[in-house]
Structure 1
Amino acid sequence: MPTVISKHARRSWLVAGVAALTLGATSAHAGQALISDHQELYPRAVLIAHSATHNGDIVASASSFDGGGHQDIFVSRDSGRTFSLMGAVTDAAFTKGLCCGGLYELPSAVGALPAGTLLWAGSVGGDTSSAPMEIRIYASRDEGATWSYLSNCATGTVPRSGGGLWEPNFAIAGNGDLVCYYSDETRAGHSQILTEVTSHDGVTWSAPVDVVSSPTQADRPGMASVVKLASGSYLMSFEMCGPLNCAAFTKTSPDGVNWSPTDGHGTAIALADGTTFWHTPTLTLANGQLLATGQILTKNGTPVTGNGGTLFINRAGDGTGGWTSLPSPVAITMPSGTAGNYCQNYSSPLLALPDGRHVLQLASDFSGTVCKTWFNVAPLNGVTVSGNDVSVNTGASASGTFTIGATGGFGDTFNLSVSAPGLPADVSLSASSLTLGVGASSDVQVTVKPTATAMNGVGGLFGGTIAMAGLVFCAGPRRRKLAIAAAAAVTTLSGCGGGGGGSGGGSVSTPTPVTTSYKATLTAVSTSDPQVTASRDFTVRITRPG
């Protein structure tokens, strides 16, 4: 295999570096599958929405070096459930180094390019230190089946040895111009900046304009991902490497071009407790809400539970009002640490499906020593069930409070049920279903009333009469004793008193209550999608007299 995808200093995509990594096992997550059995890196995906014949198809791209550098193009015609190889973007220039592609469908015409034209752009020339790098753009007018070179949106002003150009991303500005955003290492006085160029026709491009240009020389803003919001404004996610450890941020623009002020860090993408993503954030819109993910899930600089398998959702749809988390469709088993690597969960795109209720994710991981791309579709909403154990005495009833919560992007109706194999009790729910709004929760009562069988312990001897734990007779100096023990009880006898011919006295100690534990489960299932379900195991403790 040739030298793989040159990258800038922070993340070098070199074959020699693979041996130094701790390689993860093939990921296991319900429903996820390989997009190809070959090497595939840096995936991207778009939903076709401006075609006369193929609206609803999903086109995906990924870089491969099997047989030489090229960009594989895949298509799904069943809403992301399966993919097949459709074609490839090829160019002799890719032998100079290929990296970091961006895929985009034009929502409106740009010059002679009609709406529905697909654009793919990549960083070319990273393996050639003596020549400048380029951001080269290719166009497809047949939904990804064939491709041709269109233009360069950027060409370096210094040789590759003096810095590179990386990670192109597209948007249509408020004035209809095509915008190409990219990371630029060539600017004097900066380790890296985020910049943009614009075009009226996709062929001729403006001079570059700063988007994020930190006054701290060591800061490295990069990995731009831009969406147009319902308000008409634009939101960009990006990483800030260097002193800030590639933490994820956002910033806004009224028109997709003016991102003033350009010298700030923006707003952190983080949960209320400070949990955030480090490295390669991506951003998308789904059902009017924002979804974000990143390579490493971390809190206070330490990877946390859910690392490699979590996305964030912002219900306001504009980055305000905070973020909450959901399991991501693809789960990657991440190595320890926060340094990141060129493969595992590296820049994993999310794509909302037309129904607004499901999301597709593509994410790469090692299979042995080969970096491959997995995909999966999962519901955008979710449900949680929480509560505590229930303790009850025979002859009585007791209730436990459980909370059902709707998580994710929208509300739903959930059917509720309790299973408790072998539990000698009648179990009832205060509600058999709940309808919850976005982010809402509600309590239900689980009531447990032991049946007659529970009164008798093992064997179920209860039949409407009182079971005797023991009967003791004491009489005369011989202190005659008779003890009759019930099957489920132990009786302690103490001596019958008395002496010299008098009648004796006796006592029976108080029996010790017996508690038996049983396992039960409360389950909530979405009525709109049975895949959306959650359950809570709890213990029912029944106490009966000794």
Structure 2
Amino acid sequence: MPTIKSFFTLLLLPLLLFTTFAHAASPSLDGAAVSMGGGTYPRATRLSDNSLLGVTTTFSSGTNIITIVRSTDDGLTWTPHGEVTRGVGDIDNGFLLQLPNGRMLCAFRNHSKDAAGAYTIYRITVCVSSDNGKTWAYLSTPETASPPNGLWEPFMRIGNDGRIQMYYSRELASDDQDNLVRFSSDGGANWSASSVISGSGITSRDGMVGVAKFNDGTDRLIAVFETTEGGSATGPFKIKAVTSSDDGASWGNRQAVFEATGSNNNAGAPQVANVGGNLVVSFMTDEDTGLHQWVSGAAAKIMVSATMAEGSVTWENKLTVGGVQSNWPGLMTIDNSHVMVMYDNGGAKSQRVVLK
């Protein structure tokens, strides 16, 4: 017969087995911010030759240019490398992905306007490069749409089954937007029908989605996004997430990530990365200025995952990476303890952060 002490030990054992106690890694800036050569909306990826390829949107005499830069020292310096396309209209939101065969894809928004500046067509376009991003050719247009409802901010990754997953946002009304995913089995030439990963059944502007793998005992994906849920068409914006346990086929478990401090302040434009098993989320927020003129007054910040259990993640250790005005932050994992945060602060910048 067990003693009273051993009886209570048996009662507590399941609790100890199934409860996760954790603290977020502590992030700190690692060196100074580095110019990526100007432009805005910076994103980057690592190539099979171990160099980094970055993409920004630059501007010249009314022309938008999807510009490619390269780094051979993990983002400490960047050099011009090429351009994907240029044109008059609204060409922006570049995102890069290297395929297993070495070919590079760049997805971006590719919208046309008339002489008065009104949108005439919305597109998500994909271009392809066979020389590590030096030269590019048109590949496909996963979706087009007519005004007034736009298409925004593509994000790509390769799933466990080898298919490309493309996430982006589709406007349904001025106060309603969903995040979607499409799949390609032929290197981005053709795409499946779209399915909604967040925003279905609610009126909210879900957008600017970013996706990363994580493991809380089960392999999962997390998708972070900005949303106006609970507010109006103009905000305030906050950061939420959904998760998938089947590699992006289905999504659920909608949860809070970050809400700006203060009254009617905003947090938006998130991205997420896995850094040595820790999740890092980036975003921009005007909580330090309270200008209420979103996106004016925003700084770029990150947080680190504290706990992960059954598809839910909690976050701690907020760090300001780029001061006001820092827009459209992106993330790229450098190694198991370093992440690169990219943002527009008077031009595209990259800033390494170390997790300890």
**TM more than 0.5:** yes
**1:350 matched residue in structure 2:** 331
> Could you tell me how far apart the structure 2 residues matched to 1:378 and 1:82 are?
15
- The aligned amino acid for 2:206 is P
Alpha-carbon contact 1:61-1:103 (below 8 Å) kept? yes
- The aligned amino acid for 2:278 is Q
> Could you tell me how far apart the structure 2 residues matched to 1:122 and 1:180 are?
11
> Could you tell me how far apart the structure 1 residues matched to 2:255 and 2:351 are?
29
> Could you tell me how far apart the structure 2 residues matched to 1:277 and 1:174 are?
35
**1:223 matched residue in structure 2:** 208
Report the CA distance between 1:117 and its aligned residue.
2.7
**1:45 matched residue in structure 2:** 44
* Deviations, residues 343-370 of structure 1 (Å, cap 9, x unaligned): x32221122213x22221211123xxxx
| Greater fraction strand | 2
Alpha-carbon contact 1:291-1:313 (below 8 Å) kept? yes
> Could you tell me how far apart the structure 2 residues matched to 1:155 and 1:225 are?
21
SS at match of 2:344: strand
Alpha-carbon contact 2:64-2:92 (below 8 Å) kept? no
Superposition CA RMSD, Å: 3.1
Distance 1:321 1:124, change over 3 A: closer
Report the CA distance between 1:253 and its aligned residue.
1.0
Matched, 1:64 2:58: yes
Normalising by structure 1, report the TM-score. 0.52
Return the match for 2:278 from 279, 284, 289.
289
Report the CA distance between 1:258 and its aligned residue.
3.0
* Deviations, residues 122-151 of structure 1 (Å, cap 9, x unaligned): 111153446321100012233222222111
Matched, 1:375 2:356: no
Report the CA distance between 1:241 and its aligned residue.
2.6
Matched, 1:34 2:35: yes
**2:239 matched residue in structure 1:** 248
Which structure exhibits the higher relative contact order, with contacts defined as CA atoms closer than 8 Å and separated by 6 or more residues?
2
> Could you tell me how far apart the structure 2 residues matched to 1:309 and 1:181 are?
22
Q: Percent identity?
A: 24
Matched, 1:90 2:90: no
Report the CA distance between 1:284 and its aligned residue.
0.8
Give matches, 1:443-522, under 5 Å: none
Alpha-carbon contact 1:248-1:277 (below 8 Å) kept? no
Matched, 1:192 2:166: no
Alpha-carbon contact 1:290-1:317 (below 8 Å) kept? no
SS at match of 2:328: coil
> Could you tell me how far apart the structure 2 residues matched to 1:359 and 1:71 are?
24
Matched, 1:233 2:233: no
Matched, 1:104 2:104: no
Matched, 1:146 2:141: no
Report the CA distance between 1:376 and its aligned residue.
2.1
> Could you tell me how far apart the structure 2 residues matched to 1:277 and 1:245 are?
5
> Could you tell me how far apart the structure 1 residues matched to 2:250 and 2:109 are?
23
**1:313 matched residue in structure 2:** 304
Alpha-carbon contact 2:255-2:312 (below 8 Å) kept? no
Distance 1:285 1:297, change over 3 A: farther
Distance 1:317 1:137, change over 3 A: farther
SS at match of 1:63: strand
Report the CA distance between 1:274 and its aligned residue.
10
> Could you tell me how far apart the structure 2 residues matched to 1:61 and 1:290 are?
23
Distance 1:323 1:147, change over 3 A: same
Structure 2: gaps of 5 or more residues:
1-29, 293-297
Matched, 1:257 2:245: no
> Could you tell me how far apart the structure 1 residues matched to 2:144 and 2:312 are?
36
> Could you tell me how far apart the structure 2 residues matched to 1:270 and 1:236 are?
14
Report the CA distance between 1:175 and its aligned residue.
2.9
Distance 1:189 1:90, change over 3 A: closer
Distance 1:256 1:224, change over 3 A: farther
Report the CA distance between 1:314 and its aligned residue.
0.6
> Could you tell me how far apart the structure 1 residues matched to 2:196 and 2:338 are?
35
Alpha-carbon contact 2:283-2:300 (below 8 Å) kept? no
> Could you tell me how far apart the structure 2 residues matched to 1:189 and 1:280 are?
18
Distance 1:130 1:74, change over 3 A: closer
> Could you tell me how far apart the structure 1 residues matched to 2:182 and 2:322 are?
35
- The aligned amino acid for 1:352 is T
Q: Rg larger in 1 or in 2?
A: 1
Matched, 1:166 2:152: yes
Alpha-carbon contact 1:165-1:182 (below 8 Å) kept? yes
Distance 1:325 1:189, change over 3 A: closer
Alpha-carbon contact 1:238-1:250 (below 8 Å) kept? yes
Structure 1: gaps of 5 or more residues:
1-28, 109-113, 335-343, 367-371, 382-546
Return the match for 1:267 from 248, 251, 255.
255
Normalising by structure 2, report the TM-score. 0.77
SS at match of 1:348: strand
Matched, 1:280 2:269: yes
Return the match for 2:192 from 195, 203, 206.
206
Report the CA distance between 1:317 and its aligned residue.
6.1
> Could you tell me how far apart the structure 1 residues matched to 2:174 and 2:286 are?
31
Distance 1:143 1:84, change over 3 A: same
Report the CA distance between 1:257 and its aligned residue.
3.1
